Copies of this chain bind each other. A is one copy, B any other.
Amino acid sequence: MNSTITIETLRETASRIKPYIHRTPVFCSTMVNQLCEAALYFKSENLQKVGAFKARGAVNAVFSLNDHAFSTNKKSDRYVTTHSSGNHAAALAYAARCRGIKALVVMPENAPPVKKAAVAGYGAQITYVESTQAAREMALAEIVEQTGAVFIHPYNDQQVIAGQATAAMELIEQVSGLDAVIAPVGGGGLLSGTALSVSAFQPSAQVFGAEPEGANDAFRSLQAGCIIPMIDPQTIADGLRTSLGEITFPIIQKHVKEIITVDEKSIIHAMRLIWERMKIIVEPSSAVVLAAVIKKRRHFKGKKIGLIISGGNADLDNIPWL
């Protein structure tokens, strides 16, 4: 499937979501730069609404829906829905509240209490199901049938991808002359969006994906030339356990230079380094980008590198180095 996202789409997206999202800051650390012998620019989406870049895609998807997408004219009876145990659920709940409609979210009953509370806190109605893909999909189908809710996929969606693209778009405005931009890759929404923005606004820069070795479907898919779904991912980076989708994959294939895989130890090391030196809370899924730079230090030496820090929803009761 080809992407229909053009430069114009990206510009429209940025202005559509602007009232509802933060233009997040870009942080640097002299010490981290010395360690990596490069100039690193951390685009801090952990400081985004709902604590993750996901707010961008969800807001864009929800605000892109025209009135005909819904089965009713009554605003209070208009619903969007998704299944997610993570940041997309909170992001969709937030986006729906911004538009004044309702979010119906399917969550696994064993999701962390803090994530359940966050989603409920944004006013979503939650349906708890067993933690299987089948149970989730069945519950979702039922919701769609009963309420006419519009399903917003967490990443395999043109509007979601265009929304995620705005993080790199801002980064390019905030830091001129980047040689490379690195984003984590799970389902590929953030990485494909990042790739589209870089090729549109800073085409001289290379785009890299960073991925845990224990969930390396993007790496293997690019090697194979077709989507190889991830079976039984094993990584602390819970946001990166999903597999590429049929919309995200070809964009990544076309625009991404390389997927850099990193082991668990290096993810935890990088996470701690960011907490300790940059004084910001990042979740394990975000730390993969720094782990990737450290791993490929020779390649990146002397370069100006943008890193998309995807989110800050770390579990503060389970610090991985303790």
Distance, CA A243 to CA B277, complexed state (A): 29
A279 to B27, Cβ gap below 8 A? no
A51 to B279, Cβ gap below 8 A? yes
Instruction: Report the minimal beta-carbon distance from A29 to chain B, rounded to whole angstroms.
Output: 10
A276 to B316, Cβ gap below 8 A? yes
A322 to B317, Cβ gap below 8 A? yes
Q: Is A281 an interface residue (CB 8 A)?
A: yes
Distance, CA A121 to CA B278, complexed state (A): 16
Q: Is A78 an interface residue (CB 8 A)?
A: no
Closest to A51 in B: B279
Q: Is A280 an interface residue (CB 8 A)?
A: yes
> Which residues does chain B contribute within 8 Å of A321, judged by CB atoms?
316-317
Distance, CA A281 to CA B27, complexed state (A): 14
Identical chains bound together, number: 2
Closest to A48 in B: B279
Q: Is A312 an interface residue (CB 8 A)?
A: yes
> Which residues does chain B contribute within 8 Å of A312, judged by CB atoms?
279
Contact of A47 among B27, B46, B276, B282 (CB under 8 A): B27
Closest to A28 in B: B22
Q: Is A272 an interface residue (CB 8 A)?
A: yes
B46 to A279, Cβ gap below 8 A? yes
Contact of A316 among B46, B275, B278, B280 (CB under 8 A): B275
Q: Is A1 an interface residue (CB 8 A)?
A: no
Contact with B along A282-322 (1 / 0, CB 8 A): 10000000000000000000000000000010001101011
Instruction: Report the minimal beta-carbon distance from A270 to chain B, rounded to whole angstroms.
Output: 13
Distance, CA A321 to CA B279, complexed state (A): 18
> Which residues does chain B contribute within 8 Å of A46, judged by CB atoms?
279
Q: Is A25 an interface residue (CB 8 A)?
A: yes
Closest to A277 in B: B51
Given contacts A25-B25, A27-B47, A322-B322, contact A316 B272 (CB under 8 A): yes
> Which residues does chain B contribute within 8 Å of A25, judged by CB atoms?
25
Query: A residues touching B (Cβ–Cβ < 8 Å)?
Result: 25, 27, 31, 46-47, 51, 114, 121, 272, 275-276, 278-282, 312, 316-317, 319, 321-322
A sample of 17 inter-chain contacts (CB < 8 A) reads: A25-B25, A31-B121, A46-B279, A47-B278, A47-B279, A51-B279, A114-B276, A275-B281, A275-B316, A276-B281, A276-B316, A279-B281, A279-B282, A279-B312, A280-B281, A317-B321, A317-B322
The 8 closest A-B pairs by CB, nearest first: A279-B312, A279-B281, A46-B279, A275-B281, A280-B280, A47-B279, A276-B316, A25-B25
